[in-house]
Amino acid sequence: MTESRTLYGYFRSSAAYRVRIALNHKGLDYTQAPVSLVKGEQQAPDYLALNPQGLVPALSDNGVLLTQSLAICEYLDEAYPDTPRLLPAEPVARARVRAIAQAIACEIHPLNNLRVLNYLKQELGVDEEARNGWYRHWVELGFAALERTLANSAGPYCFGETVTLADVCLVPQLFNARRFSVDLTPYPRLVAVGEVLERLPAFAAAHPSRQPDAPPA
């Protein structure tokens, strides 16, 4: 049976970036359907019919439409068990990987994604400097906790010797932190893990600059 898989996303979206990494890591073919967050295409009626939240990513996998990046990644783990796993089999290890992933995707990212930053600017009248300060505050708070969490992690990745869902979440958040000029000096462990991951083919291919909707360099 021929597989059909389409990822609806935006090149700079952290959440879509996570799913690209997961798909690449698992060796699953997919086509991309860009949804421009800057142009507001996520609020177009045809896209809202796919994802009523008006968010990216959404993944169509052989006719099944899925949303929310962490849910998509866990689905891929369960639906394609013969591909490299993102979550350990052992319950305690699995819970710890999920905790790192959720610390990024549920604690840091929601406070500094595009719709929040736009609300600060457009509805609350926050200027650019204060808006960027908001962004950096929440990233720095989250990264400080993650640095402590990863301090005793054995191996080159967030959790040991294999790539996990935690790594899938870390790299996009590091990319965004650099975009907003967050000083990463206080987080040497996070930076070291990120540098190792960014050299892996699955992560390199998922980089925003290499996506079809990325602007020319």
> Would you say how long the chain is, in residues?
217
Domain 7-84 class, CATH top level: alpha beta
CATH 3.40.30.10 residue ranges of the chain are: 7-84
CB 8 within 8 A of CB 56: yes
Q: How far apart are CA 189 and CA 52, in angstroms?
A: 38
**Per-residue tens of pLDDT for the chain, all 217 residues:** 567 999 999 999 999 999 999 999 999 999 999 999 999 999 999 999 999 999 999 999 999 999 999 999 999 999 999 999 999 999 999 999 999 999 999 998 777 777 777 777 778 787 878 777 778 888 999 999 999 999 887 689 999 999 999 999 999 999 999 998 999 999 999 999 999 999 999 999 999 999 999 998 7
Task: Considering the chain, tell me which residue range(s) the CATH 1.20.1050.10 domain(s) occupy.
Answer: 91-203
Q: What is the largest CA-CA distance in the chain?
A: 53
In terms of DSSP H, where are the helices of the chain?
14-26, 45-50, 69-79, 91-102, 114-122, 128-150, 165-179, 188-198, 201-206
For 180, phi then psi, to 5°, come to -100, 20
pLDDT at 2 (0 to 100) = 62
Given a contact cutoff of 8 angstroms between Cβ atoms, the answer to whether 51 and 8 are in contact is yes
DSSP, residue by residue, 74-106: HHHHHH-TTSPPSS-SSHHHHHHHHHHHHIIII
CB atoms within 10 A of CB 165: 29
What's the whole-model pTM score?
A: 0.94
CATH architecture classification, 91-203: Up-down Bundle (1.20)
